[in-house]
Chain A
Amino acid sequence: AQSVTQLGSHVSVSEGALVLLRCNYSSSVPPYLFWYVQYPNQGLQLLLKYTSAATLVKGINGFEAEFKKSETSFHLTKPSAHMSDAAEYFCAVSTSQGAQKLVFGQGTRLTINP
């Protein structure tokens, strides 16, 4: 069985500061890992994905994430926060098996302070 834990349901940073959203996963088989973003009143948009090709993954809007197998982590970072980054962020895991359903974390709401 797979699971995802996102540490911190709410993270607040100042504009221009580093963004760090934490995600730890549990999977009995090699995982695929994803970060999705949800802006208010919108659907889930893929930010980036890890599929074993490279441990450091770059995504859209300046975000990146590093897969660390030893720590079972896939934390999301951005060097300099922008007001437009305010949204809910979801980490998710799937595997190469079956329908590749996604198992989501509980989400982290990111607030950017001016």
Chain B
Amino acid sequence: EPEVTQTPSHQVTQMGQEVILRCVPISNHLYFYWYRQILGQKVEFLVSFYNNEISEKSEIFDDQFSVERPDGSNFTLKIRSTKLEDSAMYFCASSGDGQIREAFFGQGTRLTVV
């Protein structure tokens, strides 16, 4: 069964460092998303990506964040100059181009900023 894969499963970084979270969406999907879940809080939408550009982003997704689809298979989230409050579980998701775009989620990357 096709699945969304994320790497690494856990990353520890020092405050101020840049991190790149990687995702391989399901191969025939066209919409890609990043969500995050701070411990004990809701899963929050960060950004959606379609046709090689951001289609929607939340208030959280400021200039510190960027997304890229560098090739035909990977979808990355870059966080520049990480802060302590960026510590969270980051979920990648993808969906097809139907009327109802059911999102398939990866297992998440737990980012810990120290």
**Chain A contact residues, CB within 8 Å of chain B:** 32, 34, 36, 41-46, 49, 51, 90, 92, 96, 98-107
Give the contact stretch, choosing among B13-21, B71-79, B98-106: B98-106
Query: A41, A49, A102: which contacts B35 (Cβ < 8 A)?
Result: A102
Instruction: Tell me the total A-B contact number using a CB cutoff of 8 A.
Output: 60
Please give me the 5 A-B residue pairs with the lowest Cβ-Cβ distance, nearest first.
Answer: A99-B48, A43-B107, A44-B105, A104-B43, A99-B56
The closest CB in chain A to the CB of B54 belongs to A99
B45 touching A46, Cβ below 8 Å: no
B-chain residues with CB within 8 Å of residue A105 when the two chains form the complex: 42
Count contacts on B: residues with CB < 8 A to the other chain.
27
> Smallest CB–CB gap between B11 and chain A, Å?
15
A90 touching B95, Cβ below 8 Å: no
Flag whether B25 is at the interface (Cβ < 8 A). Answer: no
A32 touching B100, Cβ below 8 Å: yes
Hey, what's the 0/1 contact readout for B48-62 against A, CB within 8 Å counting as 1? 101000011000000
A49 touching B105, Cβ below 8 Å: no
B50 touching A99, Cβ below 8 Å: yes
Q: Given that A99-B56, A101-B48, A102-B45 are known contacts, is A43 also in contact with B106, CB under 8 Å in the complex?
A: yes
A-chain residues with CB within 8 Å of residue B101 when the two chains form the complex: 99-100
> Smallest CB–CB gap between A40 and chain B, Å?
11
A102 touching B42, Cβ below 8 Å: no
A-B contact pairs, 10 of them (CB 8 A): A43-B105, A44-B93, A45-B105, A92-B43, A96-B99, A99-B56, A100-B101, A101-B56, A102-B35, A102-B43
The closest CB in chain A to the CB of B56 belongs to A99
A32, A45, A46, A99 interface centre (most CB from chain B within 10 Å): A99
A44 touching B43, Cβ below 8 Å: yes
